[in-house]
């Protein structure tokens, strides 16, 4: 009756953590269930007590990332500063969050690949980015209301802002020497003010 020694959810998290480490290092395709079990310090079969299949581990990692994203977006919405400040904060929050959990972030490489339309896993990074775009578009709309951005700014601009963030992430993932955190300011700066001389002010 009383949860054994380790409660189910905690053990599940342990295994997922191990899976994330393994996937981050070798990639999902090259990661064996046995690797994950070994990384978690348990037997191969035990993984199946907590996850239905190897793919379920990737799905769970996706859900963790998606949930992190949702948290960040929720906070951005709860924020009450001027819209552009909140946009800047959002950009920083995303990059900081990724930089803080580099192993989870590397899973993105596999999640993108697995998000290839239709038949694959129940895993849709497209939806995550749609959420980001919606949030950024809303912020830009508010900023327009506040008279802070040009009025023709719309959904496509939101897409580009999200792109700047995710594109930096991408470059960092394929070349971890890039200073991810330090890209936050240039992203904000460019997205707000561009690079053209005299553009600011």
Partner DNA sequence: AATGAATGAGGCTTCATTCAT
Partner DNA sequence: CATGAATGAAGCCTCATTCAT
Interacting residues toward a second copy by CB under 8 A: 26-30, 84, 106, 109-110, 112-117, 119-120, 124-126, 129-130, 133, 140, 143, 147-150, 153, 156-157, 159-168, 170-171, 173-176, 178, 182-183, 186-187, 189-201
The residue (of 36 and 191) whose beta carbon lies closer to a second copy is 191
Q: How far is the CB of 44 from a second copy (least distance, A)?
A: 13
Position 67 contacts DNA (CB under 7 A): no
Distance CA 64, CA 104 (A): 9
Q: How far is the CB of 12 from DNA (least distance, A)?
A: 9
Interface characters, 26-65, with DNA (x: CB under 7 A): -----xxxx-------xxxxx-xxx--xxx----------
Calpha distance 169→83 (Å, rounded):
23
At closest approach, how far in Å is the CB of 102 from DNA?
Answer: 23
At residue 177's C-alpha, the angle toward residues 171 and 181, to 5°, is: 75
Residues with Cβ < 8 Å from 19, sequence gap 6 or more? 31, 36, 39, 40, 57, 58, 60, 61
| SS3 category, 2 | coil
Name the residue nearer to a second copy (CB basis): 13 or 64. Answer: 64
> How many CA atoms, within 13 angstroms, populate the side-chain half-sphere of residue 75?
15
Q: CB under 7 A: which stretch of 1-9, 81-89, 98-106, 136-144 binds DNA?
A: 1-9
Burial (CB < 10 A; 0-12, 13-18, 19+), residue 48, is middle
Residues that bind DNA (CB under 7 A): 4-6, 8, 11, 31-34, 42-46, 48-50, 53-55
């Amino acid at each position: 009756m009383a949860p054994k020694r380790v409660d189910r959810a905690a053990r599940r998290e342990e295994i997922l953590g191990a899976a994330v480490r393994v996937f981050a290092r070798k990639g999902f395709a090259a990661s064996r269930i046995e690797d994950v079990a070994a990384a978690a310090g348990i037997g191969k079969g035990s993984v199946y007590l907590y996850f239905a299949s190897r793919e379920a581990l990737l799905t769970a990692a996706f859900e963790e990332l998606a949930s992190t994203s949702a948290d960040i977006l929720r906070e951005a919405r709860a924020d009450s500063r001027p819209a552009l400040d909140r946009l800047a904060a959002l950009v920083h929050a995303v990059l900081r969050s990724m930089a803080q959990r580099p192993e989870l972030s590397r899973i993105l490489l596999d999640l993108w690949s697995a998000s290839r339309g239709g038949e694959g896993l129940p895993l849709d990074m497209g939806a995550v980015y749609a959420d980001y775009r919606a949030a950024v578009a809303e912020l830009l709309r508010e900023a327009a209301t506040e008279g802070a951005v040009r009025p023709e700014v719309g959904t496509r601009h939101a897409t580009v802002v999200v792109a700047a963030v995710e594109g930096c992430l991408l470059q960092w993932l394929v070349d971890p020497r890039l200073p991810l955190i330090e890209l936050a300011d240039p992203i904000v700066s460019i997205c707000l003010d561009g690079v053209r001389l005299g553009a600011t002010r």
